[in-house]
Structures are given as C-alpha cells and as structure tokens.
Amino acid sequence: MIRTELDLQPIMPFTRTTAARLAAAAGKYESRLTLECEGLVLNMKSMLGLLSQAKLPGGRATLVADGADEAAATHAVLAAVNAAR
C-alpha cells in the first residue's frame, strides 16, 4: 500500500474535465485507488464520486493505492493531478 499526501486546493472544486481526467488515469490500473480526507473515502476511478465533493476540507487529502500495480498507478494519478494545475 502506498499513501501519498496531496494538496488539491489549486484544482478544487473538481470540474467535469478534471474529474474525468483523474478517473481515466486511475481506471487504467488494477489497484484500488482512493482519496481519503477526514473519514471521507472517494473512489478515484469514479468520476461521479469525485464530482460529489465540492471541496475537500483544506484541500488536503491522502491518495491511497493498494494492489499489484500500485506504484505505477500512484505515478499516473500524481501526473494527472499535476497536469490539472
């Protein structure tokens, strides 16, 4: 399991385009990918799940990747987040 702290404030709230890009990047991997913040757990592979949160408290969240390709999945999602800034 890989846990990575993220500052998402620059890209919050998620737009349809941003949510679609993040979900598409996450969806290419077998690993379970979630964003976690203060007890809230969002499935990174779900565009609707990402759009359901207008704003994460403080814009900070933890990306959690768990599975066989977790390192590659983490790298891809981080690249998608950086591209959205």
Q: Exposure of 38 by Cβ count < 10 A (0-12 exposed, 13-18 middle, 19+ buried)?
A: exposed
For the whole model, what pTM was predicted?
0.91
Binning pLDDT at 50, 70 and 90, where does residue 54 land?
A: low
In contact, 79 and 10? CB cutoff 8 Å: no
What's the confidence (pLDDT) of residue 39?
87
Residue 55 reports pLDDT greater than 80: no
Average pLDDT, integer, range 48-77: 91
Q: What is the pLDDT of residues 10-48, one digit of tens each?
A: 998 889 999 999 999 999 999 999 999 888 899 999 999
